[in-house]
Amino acid sequence: MSDLQVVALSKVFGGLRATDDVSFSIEAGTVNSIIGPNGAGKTTLLNLITGIYEPSSGDVRLGGKSLIGKPTHVRVGMGLGRTFQTPQICHNMSAIENVMLGSHLQLDSRLAPAALRRRSIVSADKQCRARAAELMNYVGLGRYLEESPGAMPYGALKRLEIARALAGSPKLILLDEPAAGLGAPEKAELSQLISKLSESGVTTVLVEHDMKLVMSVSKHIVVLNYGKKLAEGTPDVVRDNPEVIAAYLGRAA
Ligand SMILES: Nc1ncnc2c1ncn2[C@@H]1O[C@H](COP(=O)(O)OP(=O)(O)OP(=O)(O)O)[C@@H](O)[C@H]1O
Ligand SMILES: [Mg+2]
């Protein structure tokens, strides 16, 4: 069954076609990657899927339902979760409070800490906190519950964002460069976490430059270049595609 369908999707900024007539489908419960050189349109595509941008044309469907025109919080309710290329963490809140935000707030990059203090949310605080602690344990951050994000390693912040996304109980999670800035041991932990997510039935879409990670975890890969889909297929098919190799010339494709 196809979970996510991207149909003839385009996004034009001025004269630039950041996303140019892109179509692909993602199968439910699988790990997928979107790759491509810098500026290829990978983050723009995630922003179109999550509703930070509205497309110039085309459609995005989740479980057969169009997401177009729906605000981000509605898309979260429909089962979308995401992390950001640069972690969007509130530094004046503890790690666990950041995860608790994921139960209540939009996937927008503009987070609102004041929302946590609203009376209705405070009344549900205990339950929400217990769930957030569970998720932090799940992503391997159990020892950081009350930690200030500023005191946490970068790799831990990346996983904190994954825990926050999971707090919205997503069916599909989009991770924008989760391995960027991580050392080899942290990348190995991330790879295990991605496999664990997939085993639990969450569909995963990874935007990633680390080809070793991409090739080892993905079932399906979509390659973008200058906003267009250049190729798609299994890791083996994509790896051997001459156009993909040319687009990545000088990189570890
Ligand atoms: N809000 C915007 N306004 C104008 N141009 C934009 C906007 N967002 C992205 N772009 C342009 O769209 C193109 C694709 O950018 P995008 O951030 O999607 O690339 P990317 O594949 O995620 O790159 P990277 O690997 O460096 O993160 C770039 O040329 C970028 O400058
Ligand atoms: Mg990007």
Domain contains 29: yes
In this predicted structure, the answer to whether residue 104 has a pLDDT above a threshold of 80 is no
At residue 106, the pLDDT reads 42
Domain boundary among the residues 149, 169, 189 is at: 169
> Per-residue pLDDT for 36 more than 50?
yes
* Residue 84 covered by a domain: no
Looking at the 3D structure of the chain, how many domains does it have? 2
Query: Is 45 a member of any domain?
Result: yes
Residue 82 is predicted with a pLDDT of 95
Q: Compute the distance from residue 38 Cα to the ligand 1 centre, in Å.
A: 8
Residue 87 covered by a domain: no
Q: For residue 180, name the pLDDT band (cuts at 50, 70, 90).
A: very high
Mean pLDDT of the chain: 90
- Is the domain of 176 the same as that of 145? no
Contact 130, 171 (CB under 8 A): no
Residue 176: inside a domain, yes or no? yes
Q: Which of 68-77, 99-108, 151-160, 202-211 has the lowest mean pLDDT?
A: 99-108
Domain finish residue from 134, 169, 204: 169
Range of the domain at 15: 1-79+170-253
58: in domain: yes
Instruction: Looking at the structure, tell me whether residues 128 and 98 fall in a common domain.
Output: yes
Residues 74 and 178 in one domain: yes
Relative orientation angle of helices 125-138 and 154-166, to the nearest 10 degrees: 130
Residues 176, 62, single domain; the answer is yes
Residue 253 above 50 pLDDT? Answer: no
Task: Determine the Cα–Cα distance for residues 78 and 147; give it in Å rounded to an integer.
Answer: 31
Atom of ligand 1 nearest to the CA of 11: 12
pLDDT over 50 (residue 178) = yes
Are 43 and 58 within one domain? yes
Residue to probe by mutation, ligand 1, list 10, 43, 174, most atoms within 8 Å of CB:
43
pLDDT band per the 50, 70, 90 thresholds, residue 103? confident
Sign of the C-alpha dihedral computed for residues 188, 189, 194 and 197 taken in this order: positive
Angstrom distance (rounded) from CA 168 to CA 187: 24
181, 71: one domain: yes
pLDDT tops 60 at residue 113:
no
* 197 shares its domain with 124: no
Indicate whether 146 and 222 sit together in one domain. Answer: no
For the record, the structure tokens of 123 come out as 């009344």
CB neighbourhood size of 132 (10 A): 25
Q: What distance in Å separates the CA atoms of residue 205 and residue 202, rounded to the nearest whole number?
A: 10
**In-domain check, residue 85:** no
CA–centroid distance, residue 251 to ligand 1 (Å): 19
176/252 same-domain check: yes
Whose C-alpha lies nearest to ligand 1, atom 7? 13
Nearest to 197 by CA among 212, 217, 220, 223: 217
Q: Mark whether 72 and 117 lie in a shared domain.
A: no
CATH number at residue 62: 3.40.50.300
> According to the model, what pLDDT value does residue 128 have?
86
Does the CB atom of residue 181 touch ligand 1 within 6 A?
no
Assess contact for 160 and 88: CB atoms under 8 A: no
Residue 32: closest CA among 239, 190, 173, 200:
173
The last residue of a domain, from among 114, 148, 169: 169
Q: Which residues does residue 24 pair with via DSSP β-bridges, in sequence order?
A: 6
Specify which residues 237 forms β-bridges with: none
Q: Which of 63-72, 94-103, 122-131, 150-159 has the lowest mean pLDDT?
A: 122-131
Q: What percent of the chain has pLDDT over 70?
A: 89
This prediction has a pTM of 0.90
245 Cβ neighbours under 8 A, 6+ residues apart:
253
Q: What is the pLDDT of residue 127?
A: 83
Whether pLDDT at 12 is above 80? yes
Q: What would the mean pLDDT of 141-169 be, rounded to a whole number?
A: 95
246 burial class (0-12, 13-18, 19+ CB within 10 angstroms)? exposed
Average of per-residue pLDDT across 130-157: 96
Query: Above pLDDT 90, what percent of the chain?
Result: 81
- DSSP state letter for 30: -
